[in-house]
Structure 1
Amino acid sequence: MTVNVKLFDSLADVASDAGNALGRAQQPSLYNRIEWFERTARHCGAAGKTPLIARARCGNDAAWLFLYRTSQRHAEALASWYTLDFDIVRTGDNSALLASIAGKLKQFASITIAPLADPGPVEQAFGDAGWKVIRTVATENWKLRPPEDFETFWSARPGKLRSTVKRKGKKANLEIAIHNNFNEQAWEDYKAIYAQSWKPDEGSWDFMREFAEHEGEAGTLRLGVAYKEGEPVAAQLWHVENGHATIHKLAYTENSKSYSPGSILSEAMFRHVIERDAPAVIDYGTGSEPYKADWMDAPRPLYRLQLYNPRRPAAWLSLLRHKLSGLVGRSTSH
């Protein structure tokens, strides 16, 4: 059968063309849904970037690569700091669709894609289409396959962590509320905690609120807030769906640090999610913060792919720089 490939510069047109193929029912991953890309473009897009989406279809199978056009000859993943796992979006498993997308994008000199947990399919497709593919580690991601009961999970945590939570938990006497739906007061408390924490400014509160409201309506939000004598001191925002729990955000106020409200709230959140949601995987997002090792199994790398089209002169200087730096010799290159 013939593969039909089309480029779009409008997410609305992509949604219309895809029907329900990019909705919650068809896409198990949060980051592969049309509303995620729409929200990202609406709140996290930068000046000079316009959507560029390549879609390939053959029969009932389809594949999409969501990109930003950053200039006439360059593109990058349609992603933001909130995107914890970027990927080719698919229905079906027709590998020829990825090769067709790679061929359709030959007008570009370079494309950057990150963060990718499994870069293999993109590497293969673009390499076979004549692109030079350079893989580097972008960041890392911590995951855990929890046991069925919380006590087994908790007994496997480091003794120092368990002792801290027990000892300081009694002293702090925190009140903890965990919301499975969006709650206006809890959201305002979360924002107040964040403002008094060590965290930098939030990238987009509008993005986060839309995300929390949308997932709250679906029942997949887990928003936990800890209070000390009525004052909010710690908060965590999780997402739980299709057997996958992700810790997206956490913060505690600086003036409450001495009684470890973050660890106390984490114990409550892990207990709640393991006992009530029974996820197959708990995901601590991206980053190399040492405290994640106390709660997770081990990190895995997330990759960045630099795709260069040697047919385009605009790619030559970058390819030369990579060659001189030795990166080409240490990376996957086709």
Structure 2
Amino acid sequence: MKFVCYTDWVQLPESANELFAQGAKDSVFLSRAWFENLTAAGLDEKQSLALACVEAEGKVLAILPLAKCTGNTGYALKHRYTPVYSLLLADDDQPGTLDCLVEGLSRLPVHSLLLEPVSNDDNRIEGFQRGMEATGFRCNRNFRLYNWIYRVQGQSYAEYMVSRPARLRNTIARKKRKLEREHGYEIRLFTGGDVPQAMSDYYAPYSASWKANEQYVDFLNGIVAGFSRPGWTRLAVLYVQGQSIAAQLWFVVHGKANIFRLAYDEAWKAYSPGSILTSFLMEYVIDVDGVEEIDFLTGNDAYKQDWMSERRELFALSCVKSVKATGRYEQFVDSLKKILKGS
């Protein structure tokens, strides 16, 4: 078992793909497509890639994706849009793999690590933290974000909606009738390879929303392209007389639906186009995709609580190498030990 730190994706052995495929089952944000696009479009000129790995007999057993900046701090390879972060860890001999990983990290010219956002119940991160502390790092967790989810538990969309607040159900029904009566509307769903071509209909309402212009167009387009190839993307667009007034981009993979980006034209706010679209996609991912979990990702917004039922907490894990202050007495003792050892 050995520790290796790669600085480019092309250096990774092919067996790393198995680990990323396993990570994608936990979260689409632990997939190779996510991290590679983040590296290509999300790192600034002051950052460099560092893939801290453990290998044994040609197999990659662990990957900790890091961004190295000037100085002695390593950061989680993340983006403003990153909703959760973790290390990738194979099932084989996890204690031994973690020992090798933290021992290798302790030898690097890195005095501190900042990993975020990490889940409070992530066993891999917990094991990593214990290993770092045993290696001489002081580790702390600080609250960063809330995360709202819904566990479907075999419900149909109709059953799911019955459990939602009556206020929400009534608003959706009323606004649908109002929009249809006064203007007429159409909802189109784009999936797979059709999504990248339809992204202009996402950007149109986004630019007319409270969010102003999308700051990370290249990053978002790269993710959409990468996630559309395996069929992970769902883009729903609400049109009024051919004009896109609202759009939502979701990612669906391995039984989990991730509500990634939402936008609507504020001129149409009175019709609650966002709620209409969310209800449309909820019905699709529950009844057609058959998902087991729906994740509203980060944020504690009140409207998310109407759709979800369980709130989780995400933290920042900081690990700082302990440096023992050495006074004159300690220096004298150390010198004496060296003298005695040499005599």
Give the TM-score category using the shorter length.
0.7 to 0.9
Residue equivalent to 2:116: 114
Aligned-pair distance for 1:272? 0.8
Q: In 2, are the aligned partners of 1:23 and 1:33 still within 8 Å (CA)?
A: yes
2:186 maps to a residue whose letter is: E
> Percent identical across equivalent pairs?
29
Q: In 2, are the aligned partners of 1:48 and 1:71 still within 8 Å (CA)?
A: yes
* Deviations 1:32-54, CA, capped at 9 Å, x for gaps: 23332221011111221101111
Structure 1 distance, partners of 2:33, 2:280, is 30
In structure 2, stretches of 5+ residues that fail to align are: 326-343
Residue equivalent to 1:66: 65
Aligned-pair distance for 1:183? 3.5
Structure 2 distance, partners of 1:112, 1:26, is 20
Q: In 2, are the aligned partners of 1:158 and 1:294 still within 8 Å (CA)?
A: yes
User: Which of 146, 157, 162 in structure 1 is aligned with 2:164?
Assistant: 157
Alignment of 1:319-330 (within 5 A): none
For these two proteins, the number of residue pairs brought into alignment is: 310
Residue equivalent to 1:9: 7
Further displaced range: 199-208 or 253-262:
199-208
Q: In 1, are the aligned partners of 2:247 and 2:277 still within 8 Å (CA)?
A: yes
Q: In 1, are the aligned partners of 2:196 and 2:224 still within 8 Å (CA)?
A: no
Alignment of 1:44-123 (within 5 A): 44-59=42-57, 60=59, 62-93=61-92, 94-106=94-106, 107-117=109-119, 118=122, 119-123=125-129
Structure 1 distance, partners of 2:295, 2:23, is 21
Aligned-pair distance for 1:76? 0.3
Alignment of 1:1-334 (within 5 A): 3-14=1-12, 16=13, 18-24=15-21, 27-28=24-25, 29-59=27-57, 60=59, 62-93=61-92, 94-106=94-106, 107-117=109-119, 118=122, 119-146=125-152, 147-173=154-180, 174-181=185-192, 182-184=194-196, 186-311=198-323
Residue equivalent to 2:330: none
* Deviations 1:57-90, CA, capped at 9 Å, x for gaps: 2355600111011124111001112222111112
Structure 2 distance, partners of 1:26, 1:86, is 11
Aligned-pair distance for 1:27? 4.2
Q: In 2, are the aligned partners of 1:115 and 1:139 still within 8 Å (CA)?
A: yes
Further displaced range: 94-103 or 152-161:
94-103
1:277 maps to a residue whose letter is: D
Q: In 2, are the aligned partners of 1:22 and 1:34 still within 8 Å (CA)?
A: no
Q: Compared with structure 1, are the counterparts of its residues 63 and 11 closer, same or farther at alpha carbon in structure 2 (3 Å cutoff)?
A: same
Q: In 2, are the aligned partners of 1:22 and 1:32 still within 8 Å (CA)?
A: no
Structure 1 distance, partners of 2:285, 2:296, is 13
Structure 2 distance, partners of 1:219, 1:101, is 34
Q: In 2, are the aligned partners of 1:180 and 1:222 still within 8 Å (CA)?
A: yes
Aligned-pair distance for 1:155? 0.7
Aligned-pair distance for 1:20? 3.0
- Whichever of the two has the greater Rg, that structure is 2
Q: Which runs of 4+ in 1 moved over 4 A?
A: none
Structure 1 distance, partners of 2:281, 2:167, is 19
Q: CA RMSD in A?
A: 1.9
Aligned-pair distance for 1:184? 5.0
Q: TM-score, normalised by structure 1?
A: 0.87
In structure 1, stretches of 5+ residues that fail to align are: 314-334
Q: TM-score, normalised by structure 2?
A: 0.85
Aligned-pair distance for 1:200? 4.5
1:142 maps to a residue whose letter is: W
Q: Compared with structure 1, are the counterparts of its residues 25 and 112 closer, same or farther at alpha carbon in structure 2 (3 Å cutoff)?
A: closer
Aligned-pair distance for 1:131? 0.7
